[in-house]
Structure 1
Amino acid sequence: MSGGRDPSVHQLRLLLTLAEELHFGRAADRLFMTQSGLSRQIRALEERLRVKLIRSTTRRVELTSAGQALLPQAEAVVAAMDELHRSAALSARSAGGRLVLGMFEGSAALPSTRRVLAALGHRHPDIAVDVLVVDFVEQVHALRSGRVDAAFVYFPHPAGVQAAPLTSEDRLLCVASTDPVAGRAEVDLADLRGYPVVSVAEEVPQVWRDFWAVDPRPDGTRARHTSHQVTNLEALLSAVGFGDGIAFVPASTRTLYPRPGVAYVPVRDLSPCTSGVLWPSEKRDDPGVVALRRICADLHPDGAPPGT
């Protein structure tokens, strides 16, 4: 089997969770993803291993004999990766301190993010900070897997992580510049009825997908979604620019991502968004995360002031 066909550790984690729950719905809830996204990942794992792992009917889910046989090896691989992360973290702490920060696209340019990082460098020069750019999917999975200690992202966030809000800003409509609404000074959500929203990957937590698709709308109607499975902002903007659908984005996107073919339009009845820092609950007492939490609390003791 070629390296490109090797299963990912993430896929093996999904398999182990499904093997524990034997129910796609419960497993998907634990993993902060949709059932269809989980099902697609399990099928991809089976294709890479070239063996059927799961037998599913309308009434039950069970492991095949091959799935049962491979389960101990999957557990061993995941355990080995967890131990690798623990050993790396221990080595980093003994060497003077290291904090790995996930950074969602555009977050590094926000003034609130720069203030936190500047304060961290000033107060804790002994902590080495590494930055890992994360996409829509990785912003949560990187936290859960231990690849990052904390992440600067846009909310909302799923259960199982803790948060410090830093700033809030308006959300704008992102639409192809050739669309009739692109030239308007502002729009209402009702003006966008019938416009499909460019869909992000189903591995993204549902609470985040719903908020950024404004689904459901204030009148209770459900948003239409395209068939896309975008994982990053560049792909999202490209789909919008091609006229495939619309998107709702932070107001800072208009400054950070100006481009031909895309227009940004204020929406009168759309609530603002919040960005900030997330960290896993189990890491809240790690020295680097403690330092980060204290800086966030000092800079914004009452939460995220608007437009900061």
Structure 2
Amino acid sequence: MHNEDPVELRQLQYFVAAAKAEHFTKAAQRLNIVQSALSSSVRALEEELKAQLFVRTTRKVRLTAAGRALLEKAEIVLQAAKDAREAVSAVTQAKSGKLNLGTVQGLPAFLDLPLLLARFHERHPHIDVRLIQGGAAHLLEKVRNGKLDLAFLPMFYPPSDIATVTIACEELVVVCNKTHSLASSEFVSLGEIASHAFVEFEQDLGTRKIIDDLFLRANIDRKIAFEVSDLGTLMELVGHGLGIALVPESVACSRAQILSVCRLKDADACWEVVLASSAASGDALPRRFEEIIGKG
């Protein structure tokens, strides 16, 4: 099978310049190259295409039928190459492109994601941002397969292909209805709260894994009465006295008028949030978003 030599962009650039100028010397001057280089390039192009592209005279050159056919296509190819370079440059300089973000439910209240998104949009108005919510395992898989650029996740031990940056750390506290038997307690133990009904996130959502691991390490069983998918519903159920919950302190403080707050006295429970990304990614847009967080 015969393999033809590929036509180079530079050859097309020189050819188009000569066709427009109808003169090799003038075209070479516009390209800031010597005329012999341009002539050699055109000859090589004719050999590769097996066609004469110019009729040469002492005063000027003009296109042949094959040359006219090539000119039309060459201008399209060169414009496409120019557009491609500009598109890549726009993305690397964060002037355009798409940023795909993921987040778990129940981020700490002091991590104001809508505000971060607003700041990012203000600085990079031509970047399309897409945000999805989901469970930690689901979001992590999307980061690994390239469908998400960044994901806000609870603290975990990342695999080698995932890079993480800790961006928030907050104590977990117990919240309950003000008429609950724990309402008057300032400090409680895991053993004391384990006998009460819990309102929890569904598996793999929010703080669920952190709290499950907390009780597992203490070898204490607990009763989970309700499993929900969002923080608002969780807090409403607690507010109506249907159970207790462990939530980030800032979340508890935001409901202090209607809920009582107790601290754990025998356990170190912390809601840590990391920003996860592909360790192999060198894309500029995720780094720009991380800069927004760092300056927040």
User: What TM-score do you get using the length of structure 2 for normalisation?
Assistant: 0.52
- Write 1 or 2 for the structure with the bigger share of strand: 2
Which structure's CA Rg is the greater one? 2
1:285 counterpart residue number: 282
TM-fit CA distance, 1:237: 1.7
**Cα deviation 1:37-78 (Å, max 9, x = unaligned):** xxxxxxxxxxxxxxxxxxxxxxxxxxxxxxxxxxxxxxxxxx
Rounded Cα–Cα distance in structure 1 between residues aligned with 2:271 and 2:114: 19
- Amino acid in structure 2 at the alignment position of 1:265: C
2:196 counterpart residue number: 195
**Cα deviation 1:160-217 (Å, max 9, x = unaligned):** 7432101211111122222111122222223213123324323x17x96331245435
Rounded Cα–Cα distance in structure 1 between residues aligned with 2:222 and 2:279: 33
The sequence identity of aligned pairs, in percent, is 19
Q: Aligned pair 1:247/2:248, yes or no? A: no
1:173·1:266 contact (CA, 8 Å) conserved in 2? yes
Alignment of 1:259-298 (within 5 A): 260=258, 262-271=259-268, 272-281=270-279, 284-293=281-290
2:186·2:261 contact (CA, 8 Å) conserved in 1? no
TM-fit CA distance, 1:253: 0.4
2:97 counterpart residue number: 97
- Amino acid in structure 2 at the alignment position of 1:165: T
- Amino acid in structure 2 at the alignment position of 1:178: T
Quick one: which of 230, 233, 238 aligns to 1:232? 230
Distance 1:180 1:164, change over 3 A: same
Rounded Cα–Cα distance in structure 2 between residues aligned with 1:257 and 1:280: 36
2:187·2:262 contact (CA, 8 Å) conserved in 1? yes
Distance 1:193 1:133, change over 3 A: same
Rounded Cα–Cα distance in structure 2 between residues aligned with 1:114 and 1:229: 26
Q: Aligned pair 1:209/2:208, yes or no? A: yes
Moved over 6 A (4+): none
1:10 counterpart residue number: none
Rounded Cα–Cα distance in structure 2 between residues aligned with 1:130 and 1:245: 37
Structure 1 SS opposite 2:187: coil
Structure 2 SS opposite 1:178: coil
Distance 1:237 1:213, change over 3 A: farther
Alignment of 1:49-128 (within 5 A): 96-105=96-105, 107=107, 109-110=109-110, 125=124, 128=127
Aligned length: 201
1:157·1:208 contact (CA, 8 Å) conserved in 2? no
2:166·2:273 contact (CA, 8 Å) conserved in 1? yes
TM-fit CA distance, 1:129: 5.5
Rounded Cα–Cα distance in structure 1 between residues aligned with 2:108 and 2:227: 24
1:7 counterpart residue number: none
Structure 1 SS opposite 2:138: helix
Alignment of 1:98-177 (within 5 A): 98-105=98-105, 107=107, 109-110=109-110, 125=124, 128=127, 130=129, 132=131, 134=133, 137-145=134-142, 148-156=148-156, 159=159, 161-177=162-178
Distance 1:104 1:211, change over 3 A: closer
2:105·2:229 contact (CA, 8 Å) conserved in 1? no
User: What TM-score do you get using the length of structure 1 for normalisation?
Assistant: 0.51
Distance 1:274 1:178, change over 3 A: same
- Amino acid in structure 2 at the alignment position of 1:170: E
TM-fit CA distance, 1:106: 5.6
Structure 1: gaps (5+ residues): 1-89, 301-307
1:154·1:275 contact (CA, 8 Å) conserved in 2? yes
**Cα deviation 1:104-126 (Å, max 9, x = unaligned):** 4564852586896688568x636
Structure 2 SS opposite 1:141: helix
Structure 2: gaps (5+ residues): 1-87
